[in-house]
Structure 1
Amino acid sequence: MKASVQRGPYIAVNCELYGDAALAEEFIGGDRTDNENGRLSRLELAHGGTLFLEKIEYLAVELQSALLQVIKQGVITRLDARRLIPIDVKVIATTTADLAMLVEQNRFSRQLYYALHAFEITIPPLRMRRGSIPALVNNKLRSLEKRFSTRLKIDDDALARLVSCAWPGNDLNFTASSRILL
């Protein structure tokens, strides 16, 4: 993997949303007829850009090997295994699990763990950084203003309620709550 690409496609995959077989087909591609019909895998679509893997702890062991092959060798082998396909992609992965513990339990590839662990960013839960909530709300307001071409404002009581919430679901809970209040 060269990882020299500054721009290019951004392909997001939530690993939790698929069963193992469906994710395998989406991730590395099905049989050769898929490609002949113009259907590319997510890895192929990300070529020259970034692959964002959300909740990587749900990635099946076989797909962990395929991802490791992309990171180390810059190629994938589709499910039909007829040829290697060159892939130049940056990989960003997120997790809500303790991957080191999953490695020790043999539920996550040790090699992939270290290949991905080059740069780690830990973001504390929203309930532990309540001071960020007003900025997040303002960011959401600006985004909605652009989308609907209108000026939006949140009153102080509503903002105080958002800051005081428990936030057990972090961003999903925040997004849903902010939509209700706005």
Structure 2
Amino acid sequence: MKIVIINYGAGNIQSIKFAIQRIGFEAILSDDVNEILAADKVIFPGVGEASSAMQKLKASGLDQLIPKLKQPVLGICLGMQLMCKATEEGATKGLGIFDVDVIKFSDKVKVPQIGWNQIKDLKTDLFKGVSEQEYIYLVHSFYAPKCEETIATTEYDLAYSAALKKDNFYGTQFHPEKSSSVGEKILLNFLNM
């Protein structure tokens, strides 16, 4: 199986690569269009600030490529947020895959939210064998509200989307690569699709 982690200069791509190795697979890091198109599975990571990350995607033409991919694609953290219509962070227009806008947590709570949260309302095979209320690891200041494409929720100030799905596109606000055995199970489910 050919697994490509999109390398566009915005992500903790090594920790994702190591997590994939721990579950018995190898992934390559690439920003090459042909290599991404030839992949069986694509992972779209992201850590950092939305507007600069989107500029990097546009500079390489990946903003045009990603929404057209036909194989299973998993966006992680900022990657998921960039797959949405827009984000309040840097007033950034997203890739428009998920029909929801990403917004900032209210001033009532400390941001970024850092740490372990429980997930629930689990839907789709991405969560096959994962129990309700399992703990996952998050680091973020912006979130996608619950919407039709929500396939898991978590809470911080309010209930919001922990994961999204539309067609062949999946997104997790949490970091499966840092979420212990539960995260590895979710990555394995994605790779087995």
Q: TM-score, normalised by structure 2?
A: 0.32
Which structure shows the higher strand fraction? 2
Q: Which has the higher helix share?
A: 1
